[in-house]
Amino acid sequence: MAKVRHRSGGEFWCPVTIRTPAGGGIRGGHHHSQSPESQFTHTPGLKVVYCSTPFNSKGLLISAIEDNDPVIFFEPKRCYRGPFYGDPHNVPTWKEHPEAEVPESYYKIPLGEARLAMEGHKCTVIAWGTMVHVAEQAIRNSGISCDLLDLQTLVPWDRDAVVKSIEKTGRCVVVHEAPKTSGFGAEMVASIQERCFYHLESPIERVTGWDTPFPHTTEWDYMPSPSRIAEAIQKTQEE
CB 3 within 8 A of CB 45: yes
How far is it, in rounded angstroms, from Cα 122 to Cα 136?
15
Catalytic site residue 32?
A: yes
Choose between 32 and 145: higher pLDDT. Answer: 145
What distance in Å separates the CA atoms of residue 184 and residue 126, rounded to the nearest whole number?
A: 11
Comparing 57 with 24, the larger pLDDT belongs to: 57
Task: Compute the distance between CA of residue 24 and CA of residue 55 in angstroms, rounded to an integer.
Answer: 21
Does the structure show a pLDDT above 70 at 219?
A: yes
Residues 6+ away with beta carbon under 8 Å from 166: 124, 172, 192, 196, 199, 200
| pLDDT mean over 169-195 | 98
Higher pLDDT residue, 126 or 239? 126
Average pLDDT for the chain:
95
The per-residue DSSP string of 36-101 comes to -HHHHHTSTT-EEEE--SHHHHHHHHHHHHHSSS-EEEEEEGGGGTS---S-TT----STT-GGG-
Lowest mean pLDDT among 50-54, 187-191, 211-215: 211-215
Residue 205 near residue 234, CB atoms below 8 Å: no
What proportions of the chain, in percent to the nearest 5, are helix, strand and coil? 35, 20, 45
Paired residues of 118 in beta bridges: 148
Q: Give pTM, 2 decimals.
A: 0.95
Q: What is the pLDDT of residue 127?
A: 99
Question: Mean per-residue pLDDT for 150-171?
Answer: 98
From 58-62, 213-217, 223-227, the region with the lowest mean pLDDT: 213-217
Asked if the model's pLDDT at residue 179 lies above 70, the reply is yes
Mean predicted confidence (pLDDT) in 62-83: 96
Chain center to CA of 44: 19
Q: Which domains does the chain have, with CATH numbers?
A: 4-238 (3.40.50.920)
**50: Cα within 13 Å, side-chain hemisphere:** 31
pLDDT of 153 > 70? The answer is yes
Q: What is the distance between the alpha carbons of residues 25 and 74, in angstroms, rounded to a whole number?
A: 15
Q: What pLDDT, in 10s, does the model give residues 2-49?
A: 999 988 998 999 999 999 999 988 877 778 889 999 999 999 999 999
Q: How many CB atoms lie within 10 A of CB 43?
A: 14
Spatial contact of 46 and 69, defined as CB atoms under 8 Å apart:
yes
Q: Could you tell me which residues come within 8 angstroms of residue 86 by beta carbon, excluding any fewer than 6 positions away?
A: 133, 134, 137, 138, 223, 225, 226
pLDDT of residue 239: 63
Note the pLDDT tens digit of each residue in 191-201. Answer: 999 999 999 99
Among the listed residues 32, 97, 199, 216, the single catalytic one is 32
Please, are residues 146 and 139 in contact by the beta-carbon 8 Å criterion?
A: yes
d(C-alpha 23, C-alpha 209), whole Å: 10
Q: How many CB atoms sit inside 10 A of residue 62's CB?
A: 15
